[in-house]
Structure 1
Amino acid sequence: MTPTSAAARAGMRRGLIETRQTLTNGQDLFNMLFFPIVTLIVMFFMRDSTLPGTTFSLGSAAMPGVLGMQVAFAGFIGVAAVLMVEREDGTLLRAKAVPNGMLGYLVGKIVGGAVGGLIGVLIILVPGLLLFDGLTVDGIGAWLTLLAVLLLGLVATMPLGAVVGALSDNPRNLGLVFLPMVGLIAISGIFYPITALPGWLSAIGQVFPVYWLGLGMRSALLPDAAVVAEIGDSWRHAEMIGVLGAWSAAGLVVAPILLRRMARRESGANMTARRDRALQRVQ
């Protein structure tokens, strides 16, 4: 076994161990369940509203978009937050000190993030299929679409999260990332059809992965009649693959470069300086 393959295997074990720890920790479980439960409640109260020009429930129509949003949060915010925190507490520095440690560390985060994203989707999807009329995964094609959107969405968003995490050495900066993300969700057709937005806002929303994740989930979970609420009365699978693929390619090129640079700059002195600044803010 080569050192690289050994590090990758160790990273996979690390990701699964961290996932098990998350599932057995009360606070982590609460954090995992809180957003999906609140989302389901909000969607349930939207069930009596309908899509413009149809009799289809707005709550049911919004559920797939919420699943796409969950994937984006898991991939982007989740990875960025972990990198910021573990850079400050010394985890990254310890990984750097081990031969091929950074490779194992990154593989572990990818595995943990992917499993966490899948769990988050299932927490919303399973109750959603039971609570909302019109939601269904009908046939092998729908299941394959759902799986493809999930995997492509994680590949498109996790490197972006790694880029943000590599550029920031302060976990408190996460709020500066979270707020633009909320604004992006508002213009991405998650809770209301993007066709109802002004053209320039709609164009901005279609540049980023969140809209396309929601669109892909809707194509897998909603009946064909719901396509009338989409741009061009089409699910636009080719465009979805193109945009998510472009973000994936860009992230996979840029993220390793920034992560290697971040790892080279990590040292005990830098970590101590960050800790001192944090203590000064507390005092």
Structure 2
Amino acid sequence: MSTPTPRAWAVRTGVRRGVVEFRHMLRNPEDIGWNVVIGIGILVYLVTQRDTAIPGSGGLTLPDVALPGILASLILFGMVMGPAFALSTEIEDGTVLRMRTIPRGTTTYTVGMVVSQVLGALPMLVLLLAPWPFLLGDPMHRGAGGWVAVVGWLLLGTLATLPIGIVGGALAGRPTRVLLFVMAPVVALAFLSGVFGPQTIPPWAAGPVQAFPLYWLAHGLRSTTLPAGAEGLEIGDAWYPGIAALVLLAWAVVGLLAAPAVLRRTHARATASALAARLDALVGR
């Protein structure tokens, strides 16, 4: 039996680390409770609004138009805020410093974080997608293949947004800085990108939001779940799934190239003296 290469060993170790962290999340009542409360809250809101018609949409209701945007926003918040807070916390408590003592520690850490964050998003997505046809009516106007397309969009959106969280957490360095430098821009982007449908995008923001992955992830999901004629609500009055996929792919490629480089720089700067200085400052505060 051949001996695995150092990189292969690091990837396998990272996958195991991510799975273990996911199991810990499933056993944590606070984490599970958070997912259940948020998911049920979203479902209750959508169900109570299922008779709210969207003007000029040809009979579509608010849940029809809003749920794809909400799913896209959950991917953005989960894949950006989760890694950003986790990484900045582990920089501050010395976990990143200890990774320097492990061969291929950066690879192991990155793979573990990706696996744990992707698996951690599954309970919320299942909670929202499973009752969708029963509570809000069948949303899939493209048949069974549409569900495959939804999964594809969610995976592509994950690849496009997860590196942003890793880079943001590495650059922030502390959880308190994540609130200002990562969370605040993400919240602003979510509202400007039309969480509850493209009809809520301010006219002055229609151009800028198209440079970011959130709008295009929501656009791709709407192009899959909404019937013909709904494209009149979109910017440009048409579906552009090809452009949406290219934009998300571009963010994914750039992010997956940038994230390891930023992590290596963060690991290089992580020293025992720097950790001691941060702990002294924390105790002083």
TM class, shorter-length: over 0.9
In the other structure, the counterpart of 2:215 is 211
Report the alpha carbon displacement of residue 156 of structure 1 after superposing the two structures with TM.
0.6
Task: Structure 1: give runs of 5+ residues left out of the alignment.
Answer: none
- Pick from 35, 40, 56: which aligns with 1:37? 40
CA distance in 1 between partners of 2:131 and 2:281 (Å): 45
Matching residue's letter, 2:107: L
The share of aligned pairs that are identical, in percent, is 38
Which 10-residue stretch deviates more, 236-245 or 123-132? Answer: 123-132
Task: Assess if the C-alpha contact under 8 Å between 2:132 and 2:138 holds in 1.
Answer: no
CA distance in 2 between partners of 1:180 and 1:45 (Å): 30
Give the secondary structure class of the aligned counterpart of 1:178: helix
Task: Structure 2: give runs of 5+ residues left out of the alignment.
Answer: none
Report the alpha carbon displacement of residue 17 of structure 1 after superposing the two structures with TM.
0.8
In the other structure, the counterpart of 1:26 is 29
Which 10-residue stretch deviates more, 216-225 or 249-258? Answer: 216-225
- Pick from 107, 120, 127: which aligns with 1:116? 120
Report the alpha carbon displacement of residue 115 of structure 1 after superposing the two structures with TM.
1.4
Report the alpha carbon displacement of residue 232 of structure 1 after superposing the two structures with TM.
3.2
Across the two proteins, how many residue pairs are aligned to each other? 280
CA distance in 1 between partners of 2:40 and 2:49 (Å): 15
Kindly provide the CA deviation profile for residues 91-130 of structure 1, in whole angstroms up to 9, marking residues without a partner as x.
Answer: 2122221111221111011111111223322221112232
CA distance in 1 between partners of 2:185 and 2:133 (Å): 30
CA distance in 2 between partners of 1:85 and 1:250 (Å): 25
Matching residue's letter, 2:74: Q
Matching residue's letter, 1:184: L
Which 10-residue stretch deviates more, 210-219 or 197-206? Answer: 197-206
Matching residue's letter, 1:272: A
Kindly provide the CA deviation profile for residues 200-220 of structure 1, in whole angstroms up to 9, marking residues without a partner as x.
Answer: 211112111111111112222
In the other structure, the counterpart of 1:178 is 183
Matching residue's letter, 1:126: A
Alignment of 1:145 with 2:149, yes or no, is yes
Task: Assess if the C-alpha contact under 8 Å between 2:193 and 2:201 holds in 1.
Answer: no
- Mapping for residues 1-283 of structure 1, pairs under 5 Å: 1-53=4-56, 54-136=58-140, 138-176=142-180, 177-194=182-199, 197-281=201-285
TM-score in terms of structure 2 length: 0.92
TM-score in terms of structure 1 length: 0.92
Task: Assess if the C-alpha contact under 8 Å between 2:141 and 2:227 holds in 1.
Answer: no
Matching residue's letter, 2:196: F
Task: Assess if the C-alpha contact under 8 Å between 1:145 and 1:220 holds in 2.
Answer: yes
CA distance in 2 between partners of 1:128 and 1:275 (Å): 47
Report the alpha carbon displacement of residue 25 of structure 1 after superposing the two structures with TM.
0.7
* Aligned-residue CA RMSD (Å): 1.7
Task: Assess if the C-alpha contact under 8 Å between 2:149 and 2:224 holds in 1.
Answer: yes
Kindly provide the CA deviation profile for residues 6-55 of structure 1, in whole angstroms up to 9, marking residues without a partner as x.
Answer: 11101001111110110111111122223222222222232222112132
Go from structure 1 to structure 2 and tell me whether the alpha carbon gap of 1:12 and 1:137 turns closer, same or farther (over 3 Å shift): farther
